[in-house]
Structure formats: C-alpha cells, structure tokens
Structure 1
C-alpha cells in the first residue's frame, strides 16, 4: 500500500471515531436504559465497532511514515485500545460471563469473523527492540556460561579407549551382517523369478485378442480418470473439497509484503531521526532570533500593567506566584480593576484573625453537615437508579480520543499534502510547537526578573518593605503506607538478574506467537442461546480473551495506568489444550521476561519463609525494573489444596500461597507485572483463596469440529505433508473428537517422518496413516469436562452467572403477577420448568 492508501485508511478510522464519539458524548443526556438486553446489545455493538477502528489505526501507525501524524495516531490508538478493554469489563459486569459472542452483530453490520479478530500492535516489541536484543544477549551469555560449567562438572564420565573400540567393532560387525543378509536375499529372489519364467512357458493367446483386451482396460481407465478429475473440480468449485497443497502459492507474495513493510519501518526510523534533529535546531533558532523580542515585549506589557494598577489603586500590585500562573494570570481576560480586587481580597483574607477563621469553619461545618444530610436523603430517594443503566464515562474518551480527533479535524483533515511525496515532517508545525515552548521559557525568566523589579519599585516609591510570604506547603493528608523494605540495597539489577537466571527462575520462552494458536469461530451461539443452552467457547474465543486479558493491557504504559487492572490470570483446561502455548505467546507478543516460580522449580534454591520472602522481593524489584514481566506458576492448584499427596508435600507449595496475596498488593497501576497460573486440575484447589490471587480465568475447552478441521488442514502442510483428495481431512476431524490440539499436533509429527514423506509421491497420505498415532493418546472424556464446568460454577463469577440465568428464566416464565407475590412466582417458575422438561 502507498502513502495515499494509508492516509485514506486513517481518514476512514477517524470518521468512524466521530460516530462513536456521538454515542459516547451525546449533546443531551441519554435516559437510563431499562432493558438489560438492549443495554448489553449497545455495549457489544460499540465493542465491535471499536475493534474495527482499532484494526485500521494499528495498521496506520505501523506503516505511516510521517512522524507528526504517527504521534497523533498513537494517542488515538492507545485510547481506542483502552476503551476496548473497558467495554469488555463492562460486558462482564452486565452478564457475568468471560466469553461473549457477536455473530448476530456481525451479521447486522455485514462483517466477517476475521474483522472481529483483535490484532496485537507491533509497536509493543518494535519500540523496545534494542532493549529486548540487549536482554536476550545477556541471557544467552549467562546460559552459555551455565552449560560450560555443567560440561566441566560431567568430565568424570569420559569414555575409555577400550570401550570406544568395542562399540566401533560391534557396530561394524552388525553392518557387515546386514549387508550379507541383503545380498543373500537378492540372490534368492532372482532364482525364484527364473524358476517362475521357466515354468510359465510361451503365451498361447492370439495377438489380436490380447491387443483388444489391453485397449478395453486402457479405455476404461481413461474414462474413470476423466470422471474422477471432473468430480474433483466440481467439488472444489462448490467448496465441498479442498485443493491439493503441493506448495503454498502465497508464500512469495507474503514475503514481498513483509519486505515492503520492513522497508517502510526503516523509513520511519530515518524520518524520526530527522524530525528530532529539526526539533532541536528549530528550538535553538527561535530562541536566538525571536527570544529577545519576546522578552522585551513581555517586560513592556508587565510594566504597563504595573502603571495601570498604580493609577487605579495608588499602589503597586502583588505579582502572582508561579503556582497561580505567574504572568499568565495577569494577561487573562480580565480588566485591571478586577485583577486588583482579587489581589486586595486575598490580602484582606490573609490579615484576618484566627477567631474569624474559627467562626467561618464552624459555619461551614454546619453547612457541610446539612448538605451531607440533604445528599443522603437524595440518594435514598434515587433508589430507582438500579432499574436503569447508563453508559459510564471513560477517561480514555475525554482525555485521549476526543482531543486527538478534534486536532485531526481542525488541522490534518483539510491539509493538502500533494507536494509532500516523501512524507517528511512539516517544519511550520514544528515552529509553532517550539514557539509556544520558547514563549513559556521566556515567560518564566521574565517573571523572575519582574518580581525583583517590582520589589525595588515598592521599596523606592511606596517605601514599603516586602513581607516575606510564607509559602503554604500543601501537605496532603496521606495515610502512612508501609514501604516495602529493600532487602538488596547494595546490588544492581544486572547482578540480581544473573542470580535469577542461574537459579533457573528467569527462563527463555519458546518463539511462539498468538497467531500460532489455531481455532475456528463459533457461528451459531445466538441460536444455541435461544434454545436455552449455554454455548461452549471455541479456541478462537480463548485466543481473543488472552489478548484482552494478558497482552493489550500490558503493552502500553498509558493504557495500563487507566485501564481496568488484571493482576492475576488463571489458565486452566485439560492436558494438551495449549495452556503453556498461550503463556509463551503472551511473553513473546509483549517482549516480556518470564519468571518461573513453580513450587517444583524453587524448592531447592529458595527454602523456608525467608527464602520465599527474598524470592518475591527479587521478582518485584527485577520485574518492575525490566517490565513488562510475566510471573508463571505451574500446577497452581497445589498451592490451594486441602490435602497434599506425599510426593507433593516435599515441594512445600503452601508457603508460596501465603506470600502471593501480600505480594499482589505491592503491584500498583503502572507496574506492568502479570501473574499467570496454569492448572489442569483446578477443581482440586479451594476456590475462595484461589480466586483472591487470580482475578480472571481462561477456561480452555475441548476443541470443536471447526477447530479440529483447521488444525489438521494447517499442521499437515506445516510439517511437509501434502493434502490430496485421497486424504479425507473431514473424517480425521470427526475421528479426533475428544482429543486435545496437542494430541493432534503430536500425532502429525510422529506420522510425518522422513521415510513417510519420501514415499508421498507414490503413496499419498491417507486418514488411516494418522489413526494409530492418535489412538496412543488419552482422550478427554465427558466426566473431566463436567468437572471443569462444575468447578467454574463455584467461582464468584460463575455463581453470579447462574443467578443471572435463573433471574432471566423467572422473568420469562412469569405472567406479570409474580411481581406481587415473589415467593409464589418463584415456586411457579420452578414447577413450570420441571413440567417443560417432562414434555421434552
């Protein structure tokens, strides 16, 4: 895409943002919404539209070269990202569910599931590329040093010369035996063929009859081949069969697109360097050329104000303090008389005695008490607020999105850039920005000079001594907070980092992205809910939830400070469903450090209470210094089990469970530290203490048919396999029901060996090749799935969800009379529910 295309995309995103601002900040206050379904539909539609805007803005910020445009886009992009997170948490508070489905909204807006996918901004990693590279280099050096030490320690097991000779001799004898057996087998086969030829003798069939028979079979073969080819082409045209993938035709095209994007990013760096140099040069130039004139003009204006004030009040005024605005307050839109009245009123209020202050305080106290009572009474009267819902105000909209949109409309929307083909920075805009900065710097200098001049004038003409003003130190009454003691005051972050790497606390995650986590969209959840059933989430929904909980809130500092905070995230599900893959994807998408504080990993190095205290201190200190940071606990249900098995007691997981809640309190907004727990048996732990540590839960489901089909279609070509019509992928997707994605992946890797890939040209892959490998894995049975569902219903959010569904059923089952008699209404609702089940 060209500069014009990206500018047009930015314009489309801003037009859509204006429409959203009309909903967010209406001219007249909107009446509260009494229908909960309509309110939820409004929030969900806003969420989908913000995702559309976010997708466009992210691509624009990644590829637009103009440095000044990118700064404005970045503000809107962060605001849009934060608003998406707010709307997600708002939807959770409305229907008490982690997963939400938008198939009906997509149909109304004529969008595809791909349009709903939330992209991960590239600037999360690209803007920290140098820091990440430096950290990876340091980590690699420490790990290399560790491997050298282990190799030197294992020198005791060196093989002797005699043992090496014996192994070589045995292998050589085995090779000679295999070769001799092969030769003997070939000789026997040749003898057998010669005997068969001698026994058969000459053929007695007529040559014409033989030729006719051959023609008959050949023509039959040709017809069958043409019919089969025609059927395959027809199925492909109708979408009932997938084409044969010998080589990916899009690989070269995608490589060209990525190369073009990388080239634009390099141009961004060059333009950014030129822009920074222009900022410094322009600032110095304006200060040297226009600074003296600004200074002289401002001094003349302030002196004129001195004279006018003296003519009115027969005395020189007091110069406003810097905290009050300095000379900016003088040149506000007020007359000289108004300014003098304000200054006189301040002097009078300072000269009054303590008694007046006490009297005022007493009067104010009475008024405040009355006011408070009145407010309380109003609140009691406004008990009907629970019946209606209003869209809560957003700090992202008021502080980031709205001002940036207004700047775009007033400046960039109507700007003609036909001559700026290279998309260099605008020097006039730089001059205006730097001129205001220089004016502020000059104003501060002039204010200091004019205060001294005013002091001398008062002493010489009015013959008054300037009273030393006692600066009121605004001491905010803050609660004394216990500061966390630094247990390692004399050590650097680098030394602490090295210690954690040496103790295998900081580890290097495998290179996995969130796009590698495959899953298909759920196309019919609204119909399932109409049938009074709760739809099971898909792997696609899990992927979306991971980006909303674990990646987007931690990529930007500004977003993390304002957005709803997520400190602890629990990822649970059956074995092989991709829990660790999601953890590694979070680390790679953020460029974050990964700390492994699982009980099995720390029991040798950090023992007892003091060891755990030191470990949590190191995680906090190093993690906050090198944020974003992901802290991982494997098999976290063991921390909250009532009774531990003997083999689990040796790791002492309970000591970590006691330290985690206190440690989480030290994480404040702005500290981009995420605690991630992974569990395949969460139902073994006590729910209440577990949910205190992990505020959000991602429950991975068993993959449905669409996700399984996508896994087979994607992973077989990835590992060198060729999908032909002989391979019935749909049957494989059906047969792999109740198996996890990890089982499918392992089956494909085990089946597609080098030997099998070499035979593919003559013997294409078939579904029967994968069935033996799949049968070796343990399936996910219904009992295990029910255990996860029943556990989730015991969580705080699960309980609220159950209550919410019961209230909806009671509301639909009642005839309107149930409102008068609540008990009777509930009883009737239950009976009606039971009768309905019997009829079914």
Structure 2
C-alpha cells in the first residue's frame, strides 16, 4: 500500500512540474503581441488545450486513488481549476476556428500521443462525493418515483396467485412438450442411422477408394488446422492480433483490482476520521484559545479607539459588517487613513445618479480611446482567464507546503492535526470577531454618548440617510412559497414532467476517432464529425460544468444545447448519459409531454415556475425538450394543432434568461427535423448546436463488434465484420441495435458453439430497414451552415471575414483622422 501512495505522490509532483511550465507560458514576463495569423494562433491554443487535458487526466487519477484527506482537498481545488481552464481554451478555439469540432491529428503526432490521450475523463467525484443534504434529496426523489410507479402500475409488482391444480397443469404441459421434442430428435437420429445401413455391399476396390477419400479429407482438415495455428502465431508475433492468454485477467490484474477496492475503503475511513477530527479540533480551539483571542481583539480595538480619539479629536465610526468589521481596523493603515477611507466610502454611497452618469460618460470616452488603440494593434489574443489565478494558488500551495514535506512517519497517510488547527484557527477567529464586533459596537456607542454626544448623533443620521437612499432589489415572486419540496416533486412526477434517467454511461456511446479531419480541412473539405467527437463535446459542454459548482460559476456559461441529427443516432441516450454521469435530475418539457397539462396562461406560468424551482433545489438538473423543432414550427401540421406544440415558445426562453452561473441547470433539446422550425428562434434559444451525423466506417466497425458482444454473441473469424461494416453504410446505431436484437436471440446464442455467427445473417434484417441516405445528411449539413456559427465558418473558409475585419480597420482609421 505504501508503494502505491508513493506512486500517486510522484504523479502529483510530475503534474505540478508540467503545470508550472504551462503557467510560465501563459503568463510570460512580457505580454505577447497579438497574433495576426489565425492558423498560428489556433495551433498555440490547441497545443495548450492538449497539454491541459493531459494534466487533467493525471490529476483525476491522483485524486481518485489518493487516501490522504488534506492532499485530496488541495488536488480537488487544482482539478476544478484545470477543468475550468480546459473549458476556457475550448471556448477560445471555437471563437477562433468557428467550429464546435476540432481535429488535432498533427498535434497528437508531434507530442507522440494516441487519440485515447485526448479523451475527456469523467471524474468519479461528480457522483460519489455529494453532500448529505443532496443525498437525502435524491433518496426522497427516488422514493417518490417508486411510489408513483406502484400507483400507476399496481399489477406489475403484485404476483398473481395460482392454485395448486393450475400449477400442476402448467408443469404437465411444459413436461409433455419437452418429452415430445426429445422424442422427435431421437426419431430423426435413428432415421439417419438406418439410411446409412441400407447401402449396398461394397467391393474391395470401392472400399479402397472410400479409404483414400477419407484420408484425403482428414489430411486436408489436419493441414488446414496446422496452417491456421501457424498463421495465428505469426499474427500474434507481428502484433496484429491479441494473444488469447491476455484476453483473460491475469493474477496481477486481479491483485491490482483488489488493491484499488481496498484503497477506496481506506479513503472512506480516512475521510470519516478527518471530519471527526475537524469537529473536535474546532471545538477545542473555541474552548482553549477562544477566550484569549477575544480578549486580545478587544484590547486592540479599544486601543484603536483611543488612538483615533487622540489623533482626530473624535471617536471613529465602527466599520460595518459588510466591509469586514474590525478586520478592517488591522489593515496596515494609520487611524487618519482609515477614517479617510471610511468617509470616502460614505461619500460614494450618497452620490446622486446624474453624477454617476457623468462618470460613466467619462469612462466611456476613455474606453473609446482604448478601443482605438487596440484597433491600431490588430490581431488575435487569448481571452482573460478566471482560472489561471486559482492554478497559481494551487501550485504555490504545493511548492510552499507539500513539495518538500517529510512524510516518512505518516505510513498510513492519515490527516495532520496541526494542519487542521492552522486552517480552523482562522474560522474560529472569524466567529469570535463577529461576537466581539457586536459587543464593542455597543460599547463605542456608549462612549460617544458620554463624550461626543453631538458628533455621534450627526454620524448616526448620515448612516440612516444613506440607508434610506438605497433602493431595494426586486425579488422574484414565489408562486409556491407555501409548499414543500416533496409535494412539488410528487406533483411533477405524477404529471410526468420529472422522470427517472435511464442507466447508461457516456462511454457506452461508442465511436471511433476521426483520423482524416485535419487532412480534409487542409484540402478545403469540411469533414463530418465522428461519434467520438460528439461524445467529447457533450463531456465538455454538459458533464464537466454540471458536475462541479466551482467550474460552472466561473467557466463560460452554457444554458442550452441542441442536439440535431437523424433518428437513431443516440440523442436521447446522450441526454440520459449526461444525467447519469453527473447525478442530475431529469425534467421533460417536450411539446408532446406537456400537451394538455396545466392549461391556460396561469397554468403554463405555474408549470415553468415549479420545474425551474425544483431544478434549482435539486441541482444539477437537466431539462430535456424532445422534438425541439415543434416549439418553433414555421407552420403547425393539422394533426398537431390540437396539441398546441408552440405554447412554450415565448415563456421558456424567458425562464432560460433567469438561469445564472450559480444555477447548475442545463436545457438540452433534441431534434431530428430542424428544417421544419424557424432557424432564428431556434438559434436564439439554443446557444450551442451540435450536429450528430451518421456513423462513419470506423465507428460502425466498433459498434457492430461491441453491440454483438453486449447482446451475448461471440465475434469469431467466421464473422466478417469488415464486409458487414461496409454494407451497413448509412445505418444509425439505433437501427444496428434493432438488427442485432432480431438476430442474436437466446436460441442463437446457444447454437454458437457448433454454428458461429456469420455476416450473412445480418443482411436480410438490414435490408428491411431504410438507412439515412446521403441527401438527408446533406440537408442537415446545409441547415447547419445557416446557423450563426455555420455562417462564420463559411466566411472564415472563404476568407470573407478577414476582408471584413480589414475594411472595419480602415474605416476606423479614417474616422480617427477626421
């Protein structure tokens, strides 16, 4: 165990070294000049992106299997910052290349990495490390879902009682059928044997010919078998196929899995011990060091009162709790400076609005001047980062404390009590400071009344006026303030608006890496993304922000995503996978699901209010809108007019605007026919539109192989997967699953030993299904080209954007000369 701890400590140290190199590149001594070449700028962004993903993968591994609770907290903060930086770089890449999909084959080749190294890992703590309150809410929701399911389908859980006579009758029928099948099989075998003995008597020459024939067949069979074995050994030697002994878990792998399970148990034990130690140490600090802290603070604050009185002639105003209370007193300032600062703040608060407008105008003029200077020095720059400071802080913590720390005595990797004391001493000090502030604020008021009555009254009136002048912010009306969370959840479940997500993982969305993307773009051909690219995009835009509160608050905010693609490409599966990976609550606001529910304007407002209120309380949450195009129909079909699919067209975008950075709520729309919707309204609602294509050859090969195995089939050499992949061009993963389920039945699985699966068995079921034709995919591609990002991509590909930027720069220079 100690060896594994040293391994993860070494891994952490290596990550910190790589992170220091990245930080030095991102924040050089001299700020870099704007880059004019868009390709060079994108290469720099992409290189940073790939390197940060490598850091992300290593940090996630170290955090997942390290058992020291205090080290894990430092790594966790660093991991959140790295995730946020990856999302920022992804946003910069999209803004630069005007495409959601990027192809980094050349960078992987330069760094000697494989496509697997570019895979975005899903941290385990997204689901495993939730607070007790969240766990209780999830348990409550699970109970409600089960209860409503029992009420709706009571017969499904009740076992039907059967009398003894009926049971005997069923057994007799099944046994007679079994005996009949056996008797039929025996009759067929005896008929074959009898036909063999009915042949005529053979002469000696015929016997010799028969023997020679048998020998030919036998020797041919033996030689083919030997040749096959030699060929398999050669393929194994060349590394073209896997050795069968490695397909079964070896003892070392079993041992590694056992150690990993023990490590997780140790993690839980150490975490529990750490939480108990935190409570005990905090209480101990309150009891032992608390009185001394309180006395010391009071003496210092009283001394400050006297010094201010001696230097200014009056007692000072006690700093407000919002400004930091008495903590503001101990800043490195003289009493006179502190008084001036407090007076300046009061003047700022009491300023009139026109003055503020004048300042804004002056500031606007300054900003215009800055814009002119920026236009003079045209070029591409990286957007400011909200996570680099967190990365620097995490790196500094590691260097200052953990890098050279001697832990030879901490064999079991338990928590350090002294570290807890240092950390919680500040918390206890802040608690005591609040109490001291309340007491001394009253004491100061008494001193003012007794010594400076007139001056004290004036200052009090000023504060009151300042308080009255401040306007109160309007609060949103809570239409369900008198209802509990449980009652709201129960109503939404009964109405079918809150659902249980299917148990699928994002890694089950199979697809191969796109190896020709860079080559096609270099030849001015826009490639269609692979299913692996789609999985990566969902990880970045949905899973990572929803999984971490810190990342969601600071990273580029994505409120709504639209998944567009033909039927059967896995849009619904991706929605459920996002919920499973993050532990999110699933709400269904599809037009067909909300039809007839909560009628009228008031009912619609109540429905949206309940959904978004519960989504915020049970965050992370995913609001799913299936058939999203129906909400923005150009023309509603006659058969759907009664359902009123456009009833949420105005109100849902308004509710979307209320989602803030602290609300981990994501709207995911899915559509298979986006051409029937108004593209402007659809793009205004969904900030990110992800096009999901038909699977390419590599993805289809992996899908056939893995789906057949998951169904219970065996992929042998008799099954020509390459030919099956080739003839299934245009078929979606959903159609492939349908074909496999019809072919690989329970009876067929039992027959595999004597009759292995072949490609011909899958051809006839495939022929009965219509594939997604090239024309349909081209229509989707042309529709995507009309979206805002698609238009920018076309302009960038044709060079029109650079011309527009150049003309804008010339016009700005002309205005400046005038």
Whether the 8 Å contact between 2:319 and 2:328 is mirrored in structure 1 is: no
For each residue in 1:379-405, what CA deviation from the matched residue of structure 2 results, as whole angstroms up to 9, or x when unmatched? Answer: 3354235x212222211222x222122
Q: Is the 8 A contact 2:497 2:589 kept in 1?
A: yes
Mapped partners of 1:515, 1:755: distance in 2? 29
Q: Does 1:412 align with 2:402?
A: yes
Q: Kindly state the Cα deviation for residue 807 of structure 1 after the two structures are TM-superposed.
A: 0.9
Could you say which residue in structure 1 is the equivalent of 2:518? 526
Tell which deviates more after alignment, 340-349 or 401-410: 340-349
Q: Distance in 2 between matches of 1:585 and 1:267?
A: 29
Residues 638-657 of structure 1 correspond to what in structure 2 (within 5 A)?
A: 638-657=630-649
Q: Tell whether 2:148 aligns with 1:142.
A: yes
State how 1:233-248 maps to structure 2 within 5 Å: 233-238=233-238, 240=240
Deviation at residue 671 of structure 1 after TM alignment: 1.6
**CA, structure 1 residues 107+475, in 2 after alignment: closer, same or farther (shift >3 Å)?**
farther
Kindly tell me the number of residue pairs found equivalent between the two proteins: 795
* Equivalent of residue 339 in structure 1, options 318, 322, 335: 335
Q: Is the 8 A contact 2:386 2:555 kept in 1?
A: no
1:426 aligns with 2:432: no
1:93, distance to aligned residue in structure 2 (A):
1.2
Q: Does 1:727 align with 2:719?
A: yes
Q: Which residue of 2 aligns with 1:836?
A: none
- Is 1:737 matched with 2:729? yes
Whole-Å Cα distance in 2 between the matches of residues 478 and 453 of structure 1? 30
Equivalent pair of 1:687/1:795 in contact (CA under 8 Å): yes
| RMSD (Å), alpha carbons | 4.0
Any idea what SS the aligned residue of 2:747 has?
helix
Instruction: Say if 1:459 and 1:465, in contact at 8 Å, map to a contact too.
Output: no
SS at match of 2:31: coil
What is the deviation of 1:200? 0.8
The 10-residue stretch of structure 1 (317-326 or 279-288) with the greater mean CA deviation from structure 2: 317-326
**Corresponding position of 1:69:** 71
Answering whether residue 35 of structure 2 is matched by residue 33 of structure 1, we say yes
For 2:489 and 2:610, locate their aligned partners in 1 and report how far apart those are by CA, in whole Å. Answer: 9
1:318 to 308, 316, 319: 316
Q: d(CA) in 1 for partners of 2:196 and 2:414? A: 85
Distance in 2 of aligned mates of 1:271 and 1:91: 41
Q: Distance in 2 between matches of 1:350 and 1:763?
A: 89
1:179 to 1:319, Cα distance in 2 relative to 1, 3 A? closer
In structure 1, the partner of 2:222 is 222
Aligned-residue offset at 1:425: 0.9
Distance 1:136 1:250, change over 3 A: farther
Work out whether residues 79 and 396 of structure 1, in 8 Å CA contact, stay in contact via their aligned partners in 2.
yes
Task: Report the 3-state secondary structure (helix = DSSP H, G, I; strand = E; otherwise coil) of the residue aligned with 1:48.
Answer: helix
Q: Which residue of 2 aligns with 1:124?
A: 126
- Distance 1:715-1:465 versus aligned 2 partners, 3 A rule: closer
Structure 1 CA distance, aligned partners of 2:443 and 2:176? 108
Q: Cα offset for 1:189?
A: 7.9
How big is the shift at 1:417? 1.0
Aligned to 2:285: 286
CA–CA separation in structure 1 for the residues paired with 2:243 and 2:358: 83
Query: Residues 746-757 of structure 1: matches in 2 within 5 Å?
Result: 746-757=738-749
Equivalent in the alignment of 1:615:
607
1:68-120 per-residue CA deviation (whole Å, 9 max, x = no partner) reads 11221121111111111121111111121111111111111111111111111
**Alpha carbons 1:704, 1:737 under 8 Å: kept:** yes
User: What's 1:834 paired with?
Assistant: none
1:34-49 → structure 2 map (5 Å cutoff): 34-49=36-51
Gaps of 5+ in 2: 812-818
Q: Which residue in 1 is equivalent to 2:816?
A: none
Which region of structure 1 is more displaced relative to structure 2, 83-92 or 130-139?
A: 130-139
> What is the 5 A alignment of 1:199-218?
199-205=199-205, 214-218=214-218
Q: Is the 8 A contact 1:306 1:316 kept in 2?
A: no
| Superposition map of 1:97-176 within 5 A | 97-128=99-130, 130-131=135-136, 132-148=138-154
The structural deviation recorded for 1:371 is 6.5
Q: C-alpha distance in 2, partners of 1:530/1:350?
A: 61
In structure 2, how many angstroms separate the alpha carbons of the residues matched to 1:125 and 1:330?
Answer: 44
Local SS of the residue matching 1:389: coil
Which of residues 381, 384, 403 is equivalent to 1:390?
A: 381
Measured after TM superposition, the shift of residue 34 of structure 1 is 1.5
State the SS of the aligned residue for 1:14: helix
Per-residue CA deviations over 1:725-746 (Å, capped at 9, x if unaligned) read: 2222112111211111122222
With over 3 angstroms needed to count, the CA separation of the structure-2 counterparts of 1:149 and 1:618, relative to structure 1, is farther
| Higher Rg | 1
Provide the residue aligned with 1:536 in structure 2: 528
| Aligned twin of 2:799 | 807
Task: State the alpha-carbon separation in 1 of the partners of residues 76 and 187 from structure 2.
Answer: 77
What are the superposed Cα offsets for residues 272-323 of structure 1, whole Å, 9 maximum, x if unpaired? 222222222222323333333344444555555566666767x575364245
SS at match of 1:553: helix
Q: Deviations over 1:526-562 (max 9, x none)?
A: 1111211112110100000111112111111222122
User: Under a length normalisation based on structure 1, what TM-score does the superposition of the two structures give?
Assistant: 0.85
Give, in angstroms, the shift of residue 497 of structure 1: 1.0
- Give the structure 2 partner of residue 693 of structure 1: 685
Equivalent pair of 1:608/1:655 in contact (CA under 8 Å): no
My pick for the range that moved more, 575-584 or 431-440, is 431-440
Q: CA deviation at 1:578?
A: 0.9
Task: Provide the C-alpha distance between the structure 1 equivalents of 2:287 and 2:184, rounded to a whole number of angstroms.
Answer: 98
| Aligned twin of 1:831 | none
Q: Are 1:244 and 1:722, in contact at CA under 8 Å, matched by a contact in 2?
A: no
Query: Match for residue 55 of structure 1?
Result: 57
Gaps of 5+ in 1: 822-840
Cα displacement string for residues 643-683 of structure 1 (whole angstroms, at most 9, x for unaligned residues) = 23222223210112232212212222222221111111111
> Against the structure 1 CA distance between its residues 730 and 560, is the aligned structure 2 distance closer, same or farther, given a 3 Å change threshold?
same
TM superposition score normalised by structure 2: 0.87
Secondary structure in 1 matching 2:754: coil
Separation (CA, whole Å) in 1 of partners of 2:659 and 2:361: 37
